[in-house]
Amino acid sequence: MSKIVLILTVTIAIVLPRNLCFAIDDQVVDNAVVNALRILSRLQNPNGSWSIEITGESTAATSLAVMSFLAAGHVPGEGPYGAAIERGINYVVDHQEANGMIVDRRGHGPMYDHGISTLMLAEVSGMTSKTQSARVRKVLENGVKLILKAQQVRKGRNDAGGWRYQLNSPDSDLSVTGWQLLALRAAKDIGCDVPIERIDYAVSYVKRCSSGRGFAYQPMGGPTSTLTAAGILCLQVCDHLDDNEVHSGIQFLQRQPLRYDDGWYFYGAYYHAISAYKFGGPDWERTKAILFEQLVANQQPVGGWKAMNGNERPQGQVYSTSLGVLALTVEYGYLPIYQR
């Protein structure tokens, strides 16, 4: 199917009656994933890391890449990508600081790197060899402790329960909070010590970011499609599946579906795919039709994706390709977070 036809299909899917939508062929999706993983494997650095284009080697990029292989059904130490996955995991666990922070360079937002890497370690826990497993578990548990510590920083009422860029940030935002909450929930599900009241505390912050329609970057802000999907997923993984904020958020996303030229498209694709899939039904089918067609239509001939918008473009191909794979593989069900 040509790019022109694919783009036309996306436009049609948006205006179809609510009970109808186009479905992209599963084999087309599978081929897109295979091609994307092939280029990701070539982009791995000799030391096991993957890089963000503007900053270089990155624990966050490495963790996203590792999760993309896991999401496609590959495991550490086995198959064509087993060794690459193991090297990536080792790179991440080798970069935990004494205080528990998992990061390889100090930028303006190390909590992003930390949350993404902690989530990856929770997802991969139990898949690794005995030798690697003990290291992964230790780093994971220390990473969880740091997230819980950062949540206890004194903050104003609107920011309480959430996280932001730094360990000691006095405010919070939904974007950083989302990664920390997903990591805590995944860690709790495999037996790490995460008190339920701390999960509830984070949920209270997420709900304050809801406008009653969608979710905003911070409380009392305007809702966006990307952050609405993030807010929905945060509530879903914390078993708030039927809350009003989830239903109103899904309705918001159906009115304002993700567009390929959105400021944080690939970041949004990750959250849109998982949250809509967990919600299920016609809403998932409509989201799948639009999102998967967009991704397939815009995949580069070499197999990866490049962001159109200036916000994401400097992050580079590893970032966008990993998130593209993570969106396309949601129905595979290999990552625990994808399970309904």
Q: Which residues pair with 210 in a beta bridge?
A: 215
And the tokens for 171? 């405010």
Secondary structure of residue 51 in the 3-state scheme = strand
pLDDT at 22: 54
DSSP 309: S
Inter-residue contact 159 to 106 (CB < 8 Å):
no
pLDDT at 340: 84
Q: How far apart are CA 67 and CA 47, in angstroms?
A: 18
Instruction: Tell me the average pLDDT of the chain.
Output: 92
Helices and strands, counts by H and E, the chain: 13, 2
Q: How far apart are CA 2 and CA 60, in angstroms?
A: 34
Query: What percentage of the chain exceeds 90 in pLDDT?
Result: 86
And the tokens for 320? 């966008």
Amino acid at 219: P
Closest Cα partner for 122 from 88, 81, 89? 89
DSSP code per residue over 111-161: HHHHHHHHHHHHHHTTTS-HHHHHHHHHHHHHHHHHHHHHHTS---GGGTT
Helix (H) or strand (E) holding 287: helix 281-297
Q: Note the pLDDT tens digit of each residue in 11-69.
A: 333 333 333 345 689 999 999 999 999 999 999 999 999 999 989 999 999 999 999 99
Q: Note the pLDDT tens digit of each residue in 161-206.
A: 999 999 999 999 999 999 999 999 999 999 999 999 999 999 999 9
Can you give the pTM of this predicted structure? 0.92
* Residue spans of beta strands (DSSP E) within the chain: 50-52, 56-58
pLDDT at 12: 32
pLDDT at 106 exceeding the cut of 90: no
pLDDT at 108 exceeding the cut of 90: no
Q: For the chain, first and last CA: distance in Å? A: 31
pLDDT at 330: 98
Mean pLDDT of 139-146: 98
Instruction: Mark 203-227 as b/e (b = at least 16 C-beta within 10 Å).
Output: bebbbbbbbebbbbbbbeeebbbbb
pLDDT at 15: 35
Mean pLDDT of 139-164: 98
Q: Note the pLDDT tens digit of each residue in 252-280.
A: 999 999 999 998 999 999 999 999 999 99
pLDDT at 74 exceeding the cut of 70: yes
Helices (H), ranges, 43-71: 59-71
pLDDT at 270: 98
Q: Note the pLDDT tens digit of each residue in 226-239.
A: 999 999 999 999 99
pLDDT at 3 exceeding the cut of 80: no
pLDDT at 8 exceeding the cut of 90: no
Which residue segments constitute the domains of the chain, with CATH numbers given?
3-338 (1.50.10.20)
